Amino acid sequence: QVQLVESGGGLVQPGGSLRLSCAASGRTFSIYAMGWFRQPPGKEREFVAAISRSGGSTLYADSVKGRFTISRDNDKNTVYLQTNSLKPEDTAVYYCGAAVSTGLPYPFSPGFWGQGTQVTVSS
């Protein structure tokens, strides 16, 4: 079992940046591959990015490639999502998820979820 808590969301203008964090507690963080998903208003939850348990492999949705970067610090039990060049269509609740995995499967299917953090991109 692992508990996940996201932070770092907020209101930002188009073209701005935010760094989202997801802090994990419970079982050893380094056994989990981690990912970020988002749910725009009125839409289904969608995959954003994922990172292997060592941090050596990453995956991104086409819509965020080149703008978002996922990273992790296993000493701090935290995964990050650096979001740059934000667009209004990036507005969503962002969730982190954890999956026990030796690799980085796609589709990435977490078994554990955080409660989400709101990101709003608007002028």
Tell me the C-alpha distance between 25 and 14, whole Å. Answer: 33
Q: Say what the pLDDT of residue 104 is.
A: 86
Which pLDDT belongs to residue 123? 95
- Give yes or no for a cis peptide into 107 (omega within 30° of 0): yes
Instruction: Tell which wins on pLDDT, 31 or 63.
Output: 63
Stretch 83-105: mean pLDDT: 94
Number of residues in the chain: 123
pLDDT in tens, 2-36: 999 999 999 999 999 999 999 999 778 888 999 99
Closest by CA to 24, choosing from 69, 93, 68, 74, is 74
Distance in angstroms (rounded) separating the CA atoms of residues 26 and 92: 27
CA distance 41 to 74: 32
Mean pLDDT of the residues in the chain: 95
User: What's the confidence (pLDDT) of residue 106?
Assistant: 83
- Say whether pLDDT at 65 is over 90: yes
Q: State the pLDDT at residue 72.
A: 96
